Each structure stands twice: as structure tokens, then as C-alpha cells.
Amino acid sequence: MTKSVLTRRDFLGGAGAVGSALALTSRVANPRDTLPDRPPNFLIIVSDDHTYRAIGYNNPTVKTPALDRLAQGGVIFDHAYVASPICVANRASMLTGLFPQQHGSIALDASGFRSIVIDQRKCRTLAQLLAQSGYTTAFCGKSHLGHPRDYGFAQGEEDRGIDDEATFAFAMRFLDERQGAEEPFLLWVAPHQPHLPLRPASKWLDGYRDVMLDVAPNFMESPPDGSLYNQGLPGERYYRDSGHTQNYRDLPAGPPRTREQIIEFMRAYYATISHLDFQVGELIGQLKRSGLHQDTVVVYLSDNGYLLGNHGLGNKITMHEESVRVPMSIHWPALPRKSITCPALVSSLDLLPTVLDLAQIPAPGHVSGW
């Protein structure tokens, strides 16, 4: 398949001197005068801890055929970065289009988001903005921000299961029930995978048994001294690595970690991603069977990346490339141009204004994304 590679200038052409590639997808790849009359549906899939190097179109070792087909049939954003490499902070940023310092949650504490967004109502979430324009909204999966109905979703519950079976079962039912409905929808699917603990079934782990894996060139058994590498509290010489006691098998909770230990962890990490890929493929199949595929914008991204022994670290938290860069793609059959790779810088803050732009809804003036 031939892949078109667009530069930032290509995306910005005819759309002014500012803006990100993601927000300009609708203006360049599908100009407003060619948008369908009916506002599109939105299926937004936000995985947990999926680094940009762990997807098939970036790394053929990782088996993600469903995600590859989805991305390669639309727009791949090759340099997509999150507002924060911390789950709560970035999830709040995606829903509000604001930096963590603006919505109030800069770490794992969601109280700031709940105070500013839910209690004081100083800004509206994507779900609230779409609902005001007639969208049916539903959430399933990992929230991290409290009950999803408190911040704009009319349907759904949080699912804390590590295999995401309940999450995808809800999503499948929702799509089945939307057949023939007049109102467009927003379905936000937030799988737990590939977050720890890693417990891939043999079916998925066996796919990597005989695959030769190696660590990245910047692998280290332990991180250097210095605050840049410290994943603990200020002043602590404790490097928060991969989830304390929730580690894969007998992997130590922190460094030092050998090359062999990291490779074993990578097998389980990739296997978990392959399981997630299968579930996404099943969901897209349901989207097609329900007759909703042509009218649905599908976005895939992760809440943050992951360190696989890079710089001697695991987990995320620090502002290294592996922590803040994630796979991101957008797929919509109505796009006249397919198989586009955009290397321009894109932020998770751009998700909200992009969705609103595709829905032909003005974005609030206070949002930080484009």
C-alpha cells in the first residue's frame, strides 16, 4: 500500500498560520464544504500505557493487525504527544482541551478536575458539549476521574477489570442499540490494557514465544542520578518503576533490571496489546454490522506512553519521549484522502476541538488545543 506523507505545511496550507495537524484534518483532508449533511458519530478509544513504539505500523514485531488497518485507512499522527504522562492529568486534558494546570489535576489526584469541571462548572467537557448539540453520549472502561455521568456521559459505568471484557461488551451492545437511531453518538471506550498487571492469556503470549526481542538502544539497568529520572517524590532516591507489587511474574518493583528481565516483560506487554487489538477489531466489526461504519469517526490513542527500561526506568511519569509520545490515528470513511501519515507535532489537547470541528460545533474560546 502506498502511503502519502504530509508535512506540517501541507496540513496548514489554506488554513492560516496556526493550528495543529490533528485539528486541521477536517479542514484539509475533508474541507467543510464536502462534509456530510449529517453530523458524524464518534468512537474514541483511549487505551492505557500504550507507547508509540508498540504498534505494528511503527514496529512490525508487535502484532496489531486491526489497529494497523484502522490507522492505515485514515490518518496516522506520527508525532502525537500527551499533555501529561500521568493518567488522570491527561484524561482530564483530553476531555476538556485544557492543560493540567488549567483543569486542576496535575497528577493522579482527580479532585482538581472534579472541583473545577464538575462542581464549579467552569468549563464543559467534550461529552457535555456534544450532548448540548443532540448527541447521545456513552462511556465504558477506566475513568480515573470519577463517575462518567458526573462529567457529561448519559450512559455507562466504570469498569476496573484488567481484561476489558465488560468494557467491550458494553460497547458492542451500545452499537447494536444505535442501529437506525437518528441522533449521532459519542462512544468513549477506555480499555485498561496494556496497563499493569500484565496477565496475557497463553493464546496471546504464545505468539511472542519464538520472537527475537531486544531492548532499545537507550536501555539501562538503572537510571542515572538526578531529578530528571526520579519517579518518586521530590528528594527521594526511589524510582517508581512498574507498579510496585503488580509486576509481571517476579520482575522487581524497581531497578536494577537486567536486559533479560526487560525482554521477558516486553513479551507480556506486547501480548497484552495484541489482545487489546483483537478486541478493537471485534468492536470495529460490530460497527460495520450495525451499519454505522460509514458515518463514524474512529479515533485511537493512549493516555500516555510507557518506559520499557528506557533510561533505566519503567512506568511513565517522566517527560521522556517514551512516556509522552503515543500512537494516534483517525479513521473516517468520509475522508477523501486515505493512508496519510502526518509527522507534524500533535497534542492530546487537540482531540476536543478536532471532534467539535468535525461535528460542526464551535469550540469554546478558552480551550488550549487547536
- pLDDT tens column, 297-342: 999 999 999 999 999 998 899 999 999 999 999 999 998 788 899 9
Determine the Cα angle at 202 with ends 198 and 204, to 5°.
75
Q: What is the DSSP letter of 46?
A: E
Helices (H), 231-334: 259-289, 321-324
Kindly state the average pLDDT of the residues 129-140.
98
Place of cell 462534509: 35
Q: What is the pTM of this model?
A: 0.91
Does residue 136 have a pLDDT over 90?
Answer: yes
Pairwise CA distance, residues 68 & 1, whole Å? 12
Most confident of 6-20, 44-58, 157-171, 354-368: 44-58
Q: Over the stretch 25-37, which tens digit does the pLDDT of each residue have?
A: 544 455 455 556 7
Kindly report which listed range (238-242, 254-258, 329-333) carries the lowest average pLDDT score.
238-242
Q: Is 323 exposed, middle or buried (0-12, 13-18, 19+ CB in 10 A)?
A: buried
Q: Name the band, by pLDDT with cuts 50, 70 and 90, for residue 246.
A: very low
Average pLDDT of span 181-198 = 96
Q: Which of 41, 10, 87, 16 is nearest to 348 (CA)?
A: 87
**Ramachandran sector of residue 368 (left: φ over 0; alpha: ψ -120 to 50; beta: rest):** alpha
Span of 157-171, 224-238, 324-338 with lowest mean pLDDT: 224-238
Please check whether residue 151 is in contact with residue 122, taking contact to mean a CB–CB distance below 8 angstroms. Answer: no
pLDDT at 92 over 80: yes
- 231 — pLDDT class (breaks 50, 70, 90): confident
Mean pLDDT score, 42-66: 98
Q: Which amino acid is at 26?
A: S
Instruction: Find the Cα–Cα–Cα–Cα dihedral 191, 194, 196, 200, rounded to 10°.
Output: 110
Structure confidence at residue 53 (pLDDT)? 96
Give the residue-averaged pLDDT of 89-101. 95
pLDDT at 20 over 50: no
Average pLDDT, the chain: 87
* Residue 369: predicted pLDDT: 86
In terms of C-beta density within 10 A (0-12 exposed, 13-18 middle, 19 or more buried), how is residue 344 classed? buried
| Mean pLDDT score, 56-81 | 97
Residue 45 contacts residue 276 (beta carbons within 8 Å): no
193 has a pLDDT exceeding 60: yes
Q: How confident is the model at residue 62 (pLDDT cuts 50, 70, 90)?
A: very high
Name the class of domain 4-11+38-358: alpha beta
Pair 106, 154: CB distance under 8 Å = no
Cell of 111: 479532585
